[in-house]
Structure 1
Amino acid sequence: MRRARVIAEHRAPDRPAIRIAPGDAVTLGERDSDWPQFVWTTLANGLGGWIPSALFDRERGDATAQQDYDTRELDADIGELLTLHYELADWWWAENTHGASGWIPARAIEIIE
């Protein structure tokens, strides 16, 4: 696994994280202006969040999830060290030294070689 240092503070949005699993029916809305790989995704229960559009069988409207995904983001402070697990759509699934995990944007970290 790779390691990284946080170079820009990151805070999770103030909304509940959502999860999808293969076969879940969702409704896809608009693309994010800052992260065009992400589409606003609404679950059957009405909760929504930003999920990479590549994880669905369609680009817009009613769609079916093709992979597991969790929208949880990781709060991180400048200078913090993280363990990186995998990258998707310019975000890393990362873990901090306290064991908390979630997504952090690639632009907020520098990889330690």
Structure 2
Amino acid sequence: MKKSTVSPITVLFVVATILISYYSDVSSAESDPDPTPAPWPHQFHSILFVNFNGSLSLIDLWYDWTNGRNFNIIQDQLGELLYDLEWNNGTVFRYTLDGDKKKCSSALIDVGILRPN
């Protein structure tokens, strides 16, 4: 059985290639500036699945900074459909329209909707 050997030149070439590759990646990572986040649109729609301590909720979110409002339609797992309307002046309306369980409440909080900046 013939024994295979690797020449020292080949080993040196492989090691040099690995080191050069590593140091070029490290030096380019240090010189890259911090990433800039994408601009947040003034109006958008998003569908979210949220898990609050094992209870799954589906939230249909409509964000509208231009008109100063944020509208959430919240469907709790095995629960009623809740409508949550928030205005930029801090007014919040929460209501349900399910059958005989119709409810409505309002509140005034110290903050308005989340700013896009």
Question: Structure 2-normalised TM-score?
Answer: 0.21
Decide which structure has greater helix share.
Answer: 2
Decide which structure has greater strand share.
Answer: 1
Larger radius of gyration: 2
Question: Structure 1-normalised TM-score?
Answer: 0.22
**With CA pairs under 8 Å and 6+ residues apart, which has the higher RCO, 1 or 2?**
1
